[in-house]
Structure 1
């Protein structure tokens, strides 16, 4: 028996900060989620798998463009021609709202409803397999839906499909012991974009997304080809990224100028695989004021946009480190004022209308949000001491 476990295809992802790239590169990036998805389905046919699991967020948003639906329908028809089934759940990005704008998929596609349910199939080698899962019907699920998953049924192999986070009260929270207690042979997870094997017996796996979508989603992305033989489960990770995201750092020297920075960055952009690099220039306070100004108005990024290379300068950030002047500020005053200024409830109350928007509320509730704001504030303070050679 073989199957594919993929998640978070995010078709139609709107890539940010690409307007200055060539039209060709912009189009290729916007198509990259489709290219990665095609790799999933082509691999399924090549490997003659029994079925494909899509563990949520197949679309980037709940509107589901007709283009994305047409693409999936055609891919699913190819799978049907090869006697391959598809088991699909909806996640928090593409949760099911209504069927007014939904294209019907072929009968080899099985979509889970809003309560855990189990589909059965018999594989090409005669195994009786059960697949249990549920789809989101709203953006946030704070209930522990895992409690409603049944204990293992009378199957040769049973798979649980779940889109959620460990202890994350917004997204069908669960713990790994709760999953293991169900007695299933494999847990196909979605939602977290970082590839993770949380447990090996049974396997509890996040495959990650199939194409990185922003600078924080670094490295090669892909999905798993799973083989079950003699009750032994083996995994093969299949890469699917058209473009990689990577982060680099440069420690600035007081002698650096635009020429030296261009040389250093240009050397590292010479790569074999198409890659979008985010560079952070640390200790930027030692740079000359004119160098800082040129970087902040985008001169270096514009320079590299004209270069022919597999490496692209996606973002260039300046990190202004703590200086002697800032260190002399009474730390107690900073800490006391920080508690008052960086109060999350106060920030949320600044504009209730904005906070009611899902994407903004989700960002504000990110655990790293306040830390990021504090870091940016300190960075702005440190920037006042450009040229400090200490």
Structure 2
């Protein structure tokens, strides 16, 4: 038996901060989630798998476009010709609505409802397989849904599909031990965009998303091809990223010119990468160089090239005079906990916080640390030379 486990395709991801790129490049970026999805379906046909599992957030937004729906319908029709089934759940981004989709998928596709159910199939090599899951019915699912999953039945192989975060009370919270008590052979997880194997016997797996969507989603993205022989599951990671997000760092010196910096940046760029560059000790740079970077001159210069390597953003990192650091740290420690309150940030604009993209960004574990770092950096920049 063979199957594919993919999650978080996020079709129609808008991508942000790409307005300075050429129209061609902007178009390619916006198509990249589709191109990555193509890899999933092409691999399924090439490997002659029995079925595909799509573990939530197939669409980037619950207001899924007609284009995205038609794309999937056409792909599912093609899979049907090869007798490949699809088992699909909706997650927090594309949560389930009765009769919402205007397009009906072909009969080889099972979309789980908001009720936990188990689907059954017989594979090409005669294995009986049970697949259990549910779709989100609202943006947040705070209930312990795993407690309602049935324990292992008499199937030769049983799979649980779950779009959730460990201990995350907004997204069907669970623990690995709770999953293991069900006795399943494989847990196909979605929601977390980082590839991670939480347990190996049985497998509890996040494949991550199929295409990185922002500068925090670093490295190669893809999905898993699972080959089952004698109840032993063998996983193979299949890359699908069109563009790969990367971070790099340059340490500034007093003699650094724009020419020096552009040469160093060129050396760091690699094919089909989106590079976020940090220039540390930026206080050493000449004021005119800083102004040029702040104006976006360097970004725009690289955006004009036809190279497939992309300079996405430049962050100037300023350090304070060492004599002031100890004094400043005391005031920072005294005030930071009051100023950087996550609940206060959420309450600043309830309407904005209701938007998925804003809410997900604020709820990211690294959000507060990023805000603190940016604040410190702005303070350091303001008091250069003091």
Which residues in structure 2 correspond to 1:95-244 (within 5 Å)?
95-244=95-244
CA deviation profile, 1:342-387 (whole Å, cap 9, x unmatched): 2333333433444444543443333333222211111011102446
Cα distance, 1:387–1:295 mapped onto 2, change above 3 Å = farther
User: Retained in 2: the 8 A contact 1:323–1:385?
Assistant: no
| Distance in 1 (alpha carbons) for counterparts of 2:385 and 2:104 | 63
Which residues in structure 2 correspond to 1:21-40 (within 5 Å)?
21-40=21-40
Cα distance, 1:322–1:52 mapped onto 2, change above 3 Å = same
Q: Shift of residue 250 of structure 1?
A: 0.7
Tell me the equivalent position of 2:346. 348
Q: Shift of residue 322 of structure 1?
A: 3.0
Normalising by the residue count of structure 1, what TM-score does the alignment of the two structures yield? 0.95
User: Retained in 1: the 8 A contact 2:222–2:237?
Assistant: yes
| Distance in 2 (alpha carbons) for counterparts of 1:59 and 1:210 | 12
Which residues in structure 2 correspond to 1:11-26 (within 5 Å)?
11-26=11-26
CA deviation profile, 1:116-158 (whole Å, cap 9, x unmatched): 1100000000000000011001011111100000000110000
User: Retained in 2: the 8 A contact 1:39–1:240?
Assistant: yes
Q: SS where residue 217 of structure 1 aligns? A: coil
| Distance in 2 (alpha carbons) for counterparts of 1:231 and 1:349 | 50
| Distance in 2 (alpha carbons) for counterparts of 1:352 and 1:235 | 43
User: Retained in 2: the 8 A contact 1:130–1:159?
Assistant: yes
CA deviation profile, 1:223-267 (whole Å, cap 9, x unmatched): 111001122111111111111111111111111110100110012
User: Retained in 2: the 8 A contact 1:287–1:386?
Assistant: no
Q: Unpaired segments of 5 or more residues in structure 1?
A: none
User: Retained in 1: the 8 A contact 2:248–2:268?
Assistant: no
Q: Which moved more, 1:231-240 or 1:2-11?
A: 231-240
User: Retained in 2: the 8 A contact 1:222–1:238?
Assistant: yes
Q: Unpaired segments of 5 or more residues in structure 2?
A: none
Cα distance, 1:244–1:338 mapped onto 2, change above 3 Å = same
Cα distance, 1:364–1:243 mapped onto 2, change above 3 Å = closer
Tell me the equivalent position of 1:51. 51
| Distance in 2 (alpha carbons) for counterparts of 1:62 and 1:156 | 35
In the alignment, which of 287, 290, 295 is matched to residue 289 of structure 1? 287
Normalising by the residue count of structure 2, what TM-score does the alignment of the two structures yield? 0.96
Tell me the equivalent position of 1:4. 4
Q: SS where residue 218 of structure 1 aligns? A: coil
Cα distance, 1:86–1:375 mapped onto 2, change above 3 Å = same
Q: SS where residue 45 of structure 1 aligns? A: helix
What's the Cα RMSD here? 1.6
Tell me the equivalent position of 2:302. 304
Cα distance, 1:356–1:210 mapped onto 2, change above 3 Å = closer
